[in-house]
Structure 1
Amino acid sequence: MRSLANPNWPRDIPWLIQWLRRERSAALPEEQVLYDRAITAAQDYARIPIDSADAEPAWDRVLVPVDELLTRRQAMHLDRVRRAQAKHGDAGTHDHRNR
């Protein structure tokens, strides 16, 4: 997903829409609306001439829901890590010398 924010990435919109649809099919229900927004924004972007003044703002509208999805995914991952550490009595240290 980091490629999307790279201005040098060739914006392959058909590939992106296909990828977003595939990811949406496995997403949590509360995330599906974000995938829908990203897909709609990508479809809108595809209709705008690349040299139009509207192109970059339209691309930003693709990135907003993608950023939110990534933020949610990271938060869920960190929560799982914290719960696993708490379950195993790991206080966050990773010193394996005394084990």
Structure 2
Amino acid sequence: MKLPETEKIKVRGLACLAAAIFGCWGGLIALKGLYDLFIGEPEANLYSAVPWTFVTQEAWLRYGGFEVAYGLACLALGWAVLRYGRFLPETLERARREPKFELFD
């Protein structure tokens, strides 16, 4: 079977896929961080006699703040990749290169 001489690569689709992954992950982590800041508490509080002995409230708020910052950074990165993807071509056509090795020769 002869391979075609050119191949099409969907460039903009790759950028949109990366933006969707960053956006979903960032949204999920930012929401979990907000939950940890305002509602949640560490699991260590369930097993200790006195709450907030193993993990202090200060450390827990620092952890929740980091989660929110990380989630928002991922959302911003997803948005930036989506904006940059508008400048990319939909597809790119190039000459097919021969593989360096073939399986099952």
Name the TM-score, length of structure 2 as normaliser. 0.40
More helix by share: 1
Which structure would you say has the larger RCO, counting Cα contacts within 8 Å and 6 or more residues apart? 2
Structure index of larger Rg: 2
Name the TM-score, length of structure 1 as normaliser. 0.42
